[in-house]
Every structure is written in C-alpha cells, then in structure tokens.
C-alpha cells in the first residue's frame, strides 16, 4: 500500500478508478479498481486526453486489468470501449484481463463488439502482445 501511494504521488495523482499503472517498457498495464460508472467518469480521469498524454499511454501496447472492479455500468462500458479503440487507432494492441462477467454481459446486452483480445491471465496477455 505504501508503494501504491508513492506511485500516485510521483504520477501527480492517479484517477480514483485506477489502482496502479505499471510501465513494462513496451507495454503499459492499467489496473482498475472500484466502481466504473457514469459518476466516476471525468475528463481528468483515465477517460481524458490530459491523463493519457501525461502518462504517454498512446505510445505503448496496453493491458487493462479489471480484477478489482466491483461494478460497471453501460456508460462506463461504452466509454471504455471507445477509449480502447482510440488506442488501437494509434497502432497499439489492447488486451483485457480479469474481465468481470458483468462487463461481458453488458457488452452482449448493448450489442457491443469486443474487438479487443481477452485473456485468462496476465502472462498470456503479455506473451500475445509481445509475440
């Protein structure tokens, strides 16, 4: 927990919905937490260009870890998928890990195409992105 706070302070503060950013050189892992819904989405959060540019996220492949997400609503799902597709437009691969069933169900209900790779483990996602 102390490392987490230091990381937040060094980054100028992470958005509330992000537990940690892990820079692996060629890949950035974004570990989400808590509730992802219309009340947690703001321009200053992961969803905003300022945060993405400040952390150079458009310059790497991305693994999104949803392990610690407790709830997601359709607004967050739509914005998440839109943002991830913007990463792809910059020529980078995207992988999701630890995807909650709620996220998958919402995508199906909303008829959203998950044009993003979903992996059972971080190791498999890393291997696929690097391979």
Which domains are seen in the chain, by residue range? 2-130 (3.30.750.24)
Place 14 in a pLDDT band, splitting at 50, 70 and 90: confident
- Whether the CB-CB separation of 30 and 46 falls below 8 Å is answered with yes
Chain segment 97-109, per-residue pLDDT in tens: 998 887 777 766 6
Residue 27, strand partner residues: 61
What pLDDT score was predicted for residue 87?
Answer: 79
Mean pLDDT computed over 85-113: 78
Q: Which range is least confidently modeled, 56-65, 103-112, 118-127? A: 103-112
Task: Give the pLDDT confidence score for residue 11 in this predicted structure.
Answer: 46
Structure confidence at residue 115 (pLDDT): 62
């Amino acid at each position: 927990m102390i490392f987490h706070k230091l990381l937040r302070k060094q980054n100028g503060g992470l958005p509330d919905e992000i537990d940690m950013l892990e820079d692996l050189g060629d890949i950035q892992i974004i570990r989400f937490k808590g509730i992802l819904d219309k009340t947690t989405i703001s321009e200053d959060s992961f969803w905003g260009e300022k945060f993405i540019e400040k952390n150079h996220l458009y310059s790497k492949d991305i693994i999104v870890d949803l392990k610690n997400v407790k709830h997601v609503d359709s607004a967050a799902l739509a914005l998440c998928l839109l943002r991830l597709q913007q990463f792809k437009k910059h020529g980078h691969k995207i992988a999701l890990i630890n995807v909650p069933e709620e996220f998958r169900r919402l995508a199906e209900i909303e008829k959203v195409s998950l044009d993003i790779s979903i992996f059972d483990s971080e190791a498999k996602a890393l291997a696929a992105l690097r391979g």
